[in-house]
Each structure stands twice: as C-alpha cells, then as structure tokens.
Amino acid sequence: MALEHDQELDASGLNCPLPILRAKKTLNGMESGKILKIIATDPGSVKDFEAFANQTGNELMESSEEGGKFIFLLKKK
C-alpha cells in the first residue's frame, strides 16, 4: 500500500548526519500529521531514521528500498 506524502526531500548523495538534519529542518516547516517522504542513498540512514523516529516522536510510517535508494515516510507528530 503506497502512502500519500505531502512533501518530498531528496537527500541522495548526502551522508551522515545530513539526511537527518535536512529532514528535521523540513519537518519544522510542516504541519502536524503531514507526511514527509525522504529519499536517501546513505545506508546508515536506515538505522538513523529509526532512531530519529524513536527519539523525536515523529512516526516512521514506512522504510523501504527502491532501485538502490532508501525511501522513508515520516509523519510529523
């Protein structure tokens, strides 16, 4: 089931800690309940986004891999 997203952030080519930092910045400008789709190429970002979701309360709705890129769907709390 593909979830609709409200905003997209392409963090391809960026390595730790940039994907998380950019995501945080983008989420700051979003309303509660909105979904942010993040595309990343950094393999470390899989664990990072899990930790980010756990620690900040923004729900990680989906974490998948597509064509060599990692896709994350974060719901702003």
Binding site for another protein (CB under 8 A): 13-18, 20-21, 23-25, 41-42, 51-52, 55-56
Q: Which residues are catalytic?
A: 16
Cβ neighbours of residue 57 closer than 8 Å, sequence gap 6 or more: 77
CB of 44 to another protein, least distance (A): 11
Provide the minimum distance between the beta carbon of 57 and another protein in the complex, in angstroms, as a whole number. 9
Contact predicate 76/33, CB 8 Å? yes
Cβ atoms of 76 and 36 within 8 Å: the answer is yes
Closest CA to 18 of 58, 55, 52, 57: 52
Q: How far is the CB of 70 from another protein (least distance, A)?
A: 14
Q: 14 vs 61, which CB is nearer to another protein?
A: 14
Task: Give the residue with the Cβ less far from another protein, 15 or 64.
Answer: 15
